[in-house]
Structures are given as structure tokens and as C-alpha cells.
Amino acid sequence: MHLVAGRKAGESAGLVGVDDAGERRAANRAVGFSAVGLAVTGLAELVIARVTGSVGLLGDAFHNLSDVSTSLVVFLGFRISRRTASERYPYGLDRAEDLAGLGVAAVIWASAVFAGIESVRKLLGHGSTSHLGIGIVGATIGILGNQIVARYKLTVGRRIQSATLIGDAKHSWLDALSSAGALAGLVAVAAGARWGDPVAGLAVTLFICHVGWEVTTDLGHHLLDGVEPAIITNAEAAAASVAGVTHTHARARWTGRTLRVEIEGWADPDLTIAATDDIGRHVIDAVAHALPEARAITWSARAAG
């Protein structure tokens, strides 16, 4: 016997891990405004990198635009995952987010390779840095853009107590360091050290690799149906706490931002189907309470021997 409890995707699926609708809107707004701020910062740096020939700025621009594109994928995935299931796609389009993530990961790694190659070429004596004043303004825009976004996310994150948003704020704060690296490279060039900019370019390339690594491992974890082990132990403990359940096995996986939990529960074989069905409803309630992030919970009854 199978019972499936489905909750409409997006009904209580917090984009950044918060439950209340008002707080979720505030979190979404913070992520959206920050993405726009970072996009403007990254594009300004990209233009100035072209004018000055600075590879440090080029890499920093790529980094900021990489961060924007990962936010975009989250938004896109959130919208698409609201589409309801059809006969052709019985589980909905949850995995569209992972599919888009693959494209973003490829672009991030490509930009890291490009920034790295440009930095090495420049270090080996090809190309110079010009318009240093404009370049320094560009790097300062990078520092200020990331600092403003970091402060904004931290304020909203603390107000609505979103650990994800606070973590995101720390990321942006660290990203300001990447821009500071580009600035240090340009200041070194101004002081007569031509190698300052390409060395900064290589350092900034490492930051891009870090973003690429995080996006790729996250994606691999999702695509290989990995979950936090605590999800399984919590689900089994919650199911086992229901009267009439003697033993439980749980499995869970994410499809996009939908957490699907399957519970096998062993019960007295002499119970009626109606009684087992009733136990199943209680199990689903208990698991839903223990795992608020679970969107679909399936219960299968087994006969205890």
C-alpha cells in the first residue's frame, strides 16, 4: 500500500530556507536586488578591464558575473519548479534547475580558464596596463559593490534570521577581497611593478575556480541523489515514533528543490488495511513535522514478521 502526501511546490518552499511568506519575500527581494547590484558592478568592471587591459579587473568582473548567474539559476529553477506535473513529466520540471546549473558551471570554468590564460600571457610579457586611474576606480567599484551587497544581505538576513542569507553576505564580503586584490595589482603597476596586474589576475582566477568548484560539487551531489545523512535519521526516528510502527527504513532525494522522502514501515500484519492506512497518515504527518523541507512523502507498509 502506498500513500503519497504532496505539497504544492513553492507553497512553503523557502528560496533561502525561511518559512514565513513575508520573510520569504524579503529574502527573495534581497537576493534579487543583490544580483542586480553585482551585475552592474561586474559589467562596469568588464568595460574598464577592456579599456585598461587589466587582467585582474577582467577576472574580478568574471567572478562577480559568475555569482550573478548562479543566483539567476536559482530564480529560474524556482519559477520553473512551480509548473505542475504532466503525463509526460510526472515529477514536474524540478530538475530544470540542475540542467541550467550544468550550463552555468561550464561557463564559470570557461571564464576561469580564459582569465588564467590572459594572466599568464600578460605575465610572460604580452600586453600592458594603461589608464591606471580608471582601473583603480574600477577595482574600487568592485570593492564597494560587494561591500554594499554584503551589508544589505547581512541586515536582511539578521532581521529574518536566515542562515543562508547571512552565509551569502559573508561570501560577498570575501568577494570584496578579490576586488581588493585587483586593486593591489593596479597600485603595484602604478608603483612600477608591471607584474602586479597579471599576478593579481592569477589570484582572482583562484576565486573564480572556488565558485566553479562550489557550484560543481553542489550540482554533483544533487544529480547523484545525495542528501544530508541527518535527513534520513530524522525521517526514520519520526516514523518510528508513531504508535503501531515497529521498524522503519527511509530514503530521500532532491529533485531540484523538492525533497522526496520514501518511508517503509513495518506494522502488525493482522491490522486491517484501514488501520494501516491510518498509521501511514500519522507517519506522513510526523515526518512532515520533522522535515519541514520535505515536499513529497511516500509511505509503504510492510508486514512485521
CB of 5 to Zn ion, least distance (A): 38
Looking at beta carbons only, is 142 or 265 nearer to Zn ion?
Answer: 142
CB of 198 to Zn ion, least distance (A): 21
Looking at beta carbons only, is 35 or 238 nearer to Zn ion?
Answer: 35
CB of 175 to Zn ion, least distance (A): 4
Size of the site for Zn ion (CB under 5 A): 2
Looking at beta carbons only, is 75 or 266 nearer to Zn ion?
Answer: 75
* Cβ 152 vs Cβ 30: under 8 Å: yes
* Cβ 257 vs Cβ 91: under 8 Å: no
What is the four-CA torsion angle of 209, 81, 299, 223, rounded to 10 degrees? -30
**Does 23 help bind Zn ion (rule: CB under 5 A)?**
no
Looking at beta carbons only, is 123 or 206 nearer to Zn ion?
Answer: 206
CB of 39 to Zn ion, least distance (A): 13
**Does 98 help bind Zn ion (rule: CB under 5 A)?**
no
**Does 97 help bind Zn ion (rule: CB under 5 A)?**
no
* Cβ 278 vs Cβ 287: under 8 Å: no
Please identify, among the stretches 34-42, 60-68, 95-103, 128-136, the one whose residues bind Zn ion according to the rule CB under 5 A: 60-68
CB of 146 to Zn ion, least distance (A): 8
Closest CA to 164 of 31, 257, 259: 31
> What is the per-residue binding string for Zn ion in 160-179, x denoting contact by CB under 5 A?
---------------x----
The beta-strand segments (E) located in the chain are 2-6, 245-255, 258-267, 294-303
**Does 67 help bind Zn ion (rule: CB under 5 A)?**
yes
107/103 Cα distance (integer angstroms): 6
48/46 Cα distance (integer angstroms): 6
114/196 Cα distance (integer angstroms): 18
Q: Which residues bind Zn ion (CB under 5 A)?
A: 67, 175
